[in-house]
Structure 1
Amino acid sequence: MVSIKTVAVLGGSGNLGPAIVKELIAAGFTVTALTREGSTSTFPEIDGLTVKKVDYTSFDSLRDAFTGQDAVVSVVATAAIGVQNVAIDAAVAAGVKRFIPSEFGVNTRKTQGLPIGKILAGKVSVVDYLDEKAKQNEGFSWTGLSTGLFFDWGLKVGSIGVNVKDKTATIVDSGNEKFQTSNLAHIGRAVAGILKHPDETANKYLATASFNPSQNEIVGIVEELTGEKYNVTRLKSEDLWKAGEEKLARGDFRAFGDFLKVWNHADGIGHAVEGSESANELLGVPYEDLRETLKAYLTRVGAI
């Protein structure tokens, strides 16, 4: 049986990294956060957290940082996805047992052949590379994790489609399609669950979610809790798809936003994560309460 006690988090200072670091420490792992040389990012003072600066592009720098680590969790930004192959080689050389790549969003194993897959091709190739390395190196394994949209973070930045300040909402098609989405802390707990169950999660691509709401459900709860009626703008998935294709043809990768709305919300798309597709039970992370998450957010921003 594989035992994982020490974990290095690569790129742990972004939107998701701190939540993963916090939940790993809470789960009893010894955590080292690795940041890019020259980075001015800071971490909250957490007992048991070590912070080191490394050169993300240097095999030697990464190998040295990974030495003594049982697992590496990569949370590098999409723009830096390419550095992961160097990190994977360094992890193998350092004797790392498990590598979790920077997925944490759309299930990239389902995007191949689609326009959104062209934009996410870097992520797809990293998982393919990991699978190859795991077959070539006994004792090395990987786990991919799809989480859907970052829900609590998305409420703050507007990617969920609800603007509390302006009392507006954007809904695609009927608004009844359920979609995969996860709170940041839930994602952190899911990562900890992978490493607490290393044998059961080895060389697998898993999916998790805090909940699978519809857009109409979210707007309805927000309107109920605030006592305010929201002004709703409706979009058609076919129009979003066409707009995305036109942008992609020009090399404009803002097309991702259009394709992502289609991926999550188009009627009949079927990308909710429920039943046998969900790894929640395996990872020990129960579904969360949508209403309570929305209530906490609305309270925090003074909307209720």
Structure 2
Amino acid sequence: MAAIRVAVAGPNGTLGPPVIKHLVKQGFQVTLLSRDPDKASKQYPPPTKAISADYTSVEQLTEILQQNGPFDCLIILINRDQLEPQIKLIDAAIAAGVPHIVPSSFGIDSSSPEVHDLPQIQGKMKMEKYLLGKANEGLVSFTGINTGLFFDWALEVAGIPINLKGGPTFLADGGGVALSVSTLDLIGQAVAQAIHKRDEARNRFLFVHSAVVTQKQLLQYAQEIAPDRDFPIVEVDTEKAAAEAREKMQRGETGMMVAMPLLMRVSFGLGLGLFKKVDNEFLGLDVMSEDDVKALVAKYVNKKW
């Protein structure tokens, strides 16, 4: 059987290493479309191949895909905020005859009406609408993968779900709301498996997670691991904080931190950060045990920042 041939756009971002690792591990032929092919070549040695790509040109992207293909799938790992490059990649894939796309849909489920107005996902919403329209026309098929919060990435940065760098954790509505989280490695596995099952997962949004956690649970683990350390908290009423955020935005204030309470309200206050049903079994993905979760927290509690 011939190897599945995939093109990966955006290999130098957060999801590049785990996704490409599992594509190579599972025997895919991988071509990287990168704005910095030298960097990509150094990070991903053969058998992967890196090619210079201009994400502003549908014509150049189409030519690259035609000349280096045929490809069975295009995987887009570009940040979801970058709408225009994603649209151009979708158009180029269609023009080049690439039959299937895994878009940059990673993260929160955008199907709930309460999520639609979040400033953080407007690019994702527009991209998904555009891709769905092309799929409905029969021009291409896709498989979207919703992952919830990137778990290990989030533990390494200050903020949600907990702060392990010494600053306060913003405890949303008491900290007992369950949240779906996925490790970067599981996301890499999910992408590779979804491509293997692309016929069964045609024009579907899949849901995966590594674990279901709460802020209180993670803080408890951190305290058990480092009993002599202080892990301060700031209690947040997400309904009140979201209302204040909307007032600021109406006054013209912008920025990630201004809009953050809206995401907290949706994820925690409304409980929409929890996937009610996941496709882990369909994709052959394991769920972390409690000991696994605690070990991951310990890795970052003990890290020398």
In the TM superposition, residue 182 of structure 1 has moved relative to its aligned partner by 0.8
| RMSD between aligned residues | 2.5
Please state whether the residue corresponding to 2:302 is helix, strand or coil.
coil
Please state whether the residue corresponding to 1:28 is helix, strand or coil.
coil
Look up the match of 2:86.
Answer: 84
Answering whether residue 239 of structure 2 is matched by residue 238 of structure 1, we say: yes
> 2:178 and 2:302 mapped to 1: Cα distance?
28
Please state whether the residue corresponding to 1:125 is helix, strand or coil.
helix
> 2:81 and 2:101 mapped to 1: Cα distance?
19
Superposed CA deviations along residues 28-82 of structure 1, whole A, max 9, x for unmatched, are 2111121126885665244421111110011121112223111111111233222
Instruction: Name the count of aligned residue pairs.
Output: 297
Look up the match of 1:289.
Answer: 289
> 2:244 and 2:32 mapped to 1: Cα distance?
39
Superposed CA deviations along residues 74-93 of structure 1, whole A, max 9, x for unmatched, are 11123322221211111011
In the TM superposition, residue 189 of structure 1 has moved relative to its aligned partner by 0.6
> 2:254 and 2:244 mapped to 1: Cα distance?
11
Q: Which amino acid aligns with 2:153?
A: W
Identify which range, 124-133 or 243-252, moves more after superposition.
Answer: 243-252
Gaps of 5+ in 1: none
Q: Kindly tell me: are residues 167 and 248 of structure 1, through their superposed partners in 2, closer, same or farther at Cα, counting changes over 3 Å?
A: closer
> 1:262 and 1:204 mapped to 2: Cα distance?
27
Query: Superposition pairs for residues 1-304 of structure 1, below 5 Å?
Result: 5-36=4-35, 43-67=42-66, 68=69, 69-111=71-113, 114-116=116-118, 118-137=119-138, 140-166=140-166, 168-228=168-228, 229-249=230-250, 250=252, 252-254=254-256, 255-266=258-269, 268-274=270-276, 277-296=277-296, 298-299=298-299, 302=302
Identify which range, 244-253 or 187-196, moves more after superposition.
Answer: 244-253
In the TM superposition, residue 187 of structure 1 has moved relative to its aligned partner by 0.6
Q: Which amino acid aligns with 2:247?
A: E
> 1:26 and 1:95 mapped to 2: Cα distance?
26
In the TM superposition, residue 248 of structure 1 has moved relative to its aligned partner by 2.9
> 1:303 and 1:113 mapped to 2: Cα distance?
34
Native 8 Å contact 1:171 1:233 kept in 2 = yes
Native 8 Å contact 2:242 2:265 kept in 1 = yes
Native 8 Å contact 2:110 2:125 kept in 1 = yes
> 2:120 and 2:296 mapped to 1: Cα distance?
34
> 2:155 and 2:75 mapped to 1: Cα distance?
25
Native 8 Å contact 1:85 1:126 kept in 2 = yes
In the TM superposition, residue 221 of structure 1 has moved relative to its aligned partner by 1.3
Superposed CA deviations along residues 228-269 of structure 1, whole A, max 9, x for unmatched, are 452222111012212321243215142432222222221x52
Please state whether the residue corresponding to 2:143 is helix, strand or coil.
strand
> 1:206 and 1:156 mapped to 2: Cα distance?
26
In the TM superposition, residue 294 of structure 1 has moved relative to its aligned partner by 4.1
Please state whether the residue corresponding to 2:206 is helix, strand or coil.
strand
In the TM superposition, residue 119 of structure 1 has moved relative to its aligned partner by 4.4
Given the two structures, how large is their TM-score scaled by the length of structure 2? Answer: 0.88
Q: Kindly tell me: are residues 167 and 303 of structure 1, through their superposed partners in 2, closer, same or farther at Cα, counting changes over 3 Å?
A: farther
Q: Kindly tell me: are residues 77 and 198 of structure 1, through their superposed partners in 2, closer, same or farther at Cα, counting changes over 3 Å?
A: same
Please state whether the residue corresponding to 2:75 is helix, strand or coil.
strand
> 1:38 and 1:299 mapped to 2: Cα distance?
32
Q: Kindly tell me: are residues 247 and 284 of structure 1, through their superposed partners in 2, closer, same or farther at Cα, counting changes over 3 Å?
A: farther
> 1:39 and 1:81 mapped to 2: Cα distance?
24
Gaps of 5+ in 2: none
Please state whether the residue corresponding to 1:66 is helix, strand or coil.
helix
Native 8 Å contact 1:180 1:264 kept in 2 = no
> 1:300 and 1:128 mapped to 2: Cα distance?
37
> 2:120 and 2:179 mapped to 1: Cα distance?
20
Q: Kindly tell me: are residues 278 and 14 of structure 1, through their superposed partners in 2, closer, same or farther at Cα, counting changes over 3 Å?
A: same
In the TM superposition, residue 303 of structure 1 has moved relative to its aligned partner by 5.5
> 2:263 and 2:41 mapped to 1: Cα distance?
31
Please state whether the residue corresponding to 2:242 is helix, strand or coil.
helix
Q: Which amino acid aligns with 2:147?
A: T
